Amino acid sequence: MTTTPPLYTSVLPTDVTTWYRAGKTTQFPIGAGATIKYGDKQVAVFYFPRQEKWYACQNLCPHKLENVLGRGLIGEQDGIPKVACPLHKKTFSLTTGENLNGDCPAVAVYPVKVEYDYVYVGFSD
């Protein structure tokens, strides 16, 4: 098993120094993921329509270091929003980044906000 490069570190809402405008809400699929690029980072952004909530995490799956989480299946596990890697089905909490079904390292998660129909992802530069 591999480890996540230090390029990706979770950001708390209180630590955001930059709100990156990722795109219009209509540019993101409903109930699925899309990937944005911020500097050297690939970040997966997800919209959960039933909760009317947005989530973001690193696109890089720490299991095999493939940039695929934006194409993963999303859902809930015990009320926790999650994404499943489309390659090996490792699942990660979209609120904490924790691996929910194995011993993989956590993924980095980022705060998301919507203002005037634009999606913003928070980073600490």
Report d(CA 122, CA 76) in Å as an integer: 23
6-10, 54-58, 110-114, 118-122, range with the lowest pLDDT: 6-10
Q: What is the pLDDT of residue 1?
A: 53
Specify the fold of 13-123.
Rieske Iron-sulfur Protein (2.102.10)
Q: What is the pLDDT at residue 121?
A: 98
pTM, 2 dp: 0.92
5 pLDDT above the threshold of 60:
no
Residue 7 has pLDDT above 70, yes or no: yes
| CA neighbor of 98 nearest in space, from 114, 117, 77 | 77
Q: What is the pLDDT of residue 66?
A: 93
pLDDT class for 27, splitting at 50, 70, 90?
very high
Confidence grade of residue 3 (pLDDT, cut at 50, 70, 90): low
What are the φ and ψ backbone dihedral angles of 26, each rounded to 5 degrees? -70, -10
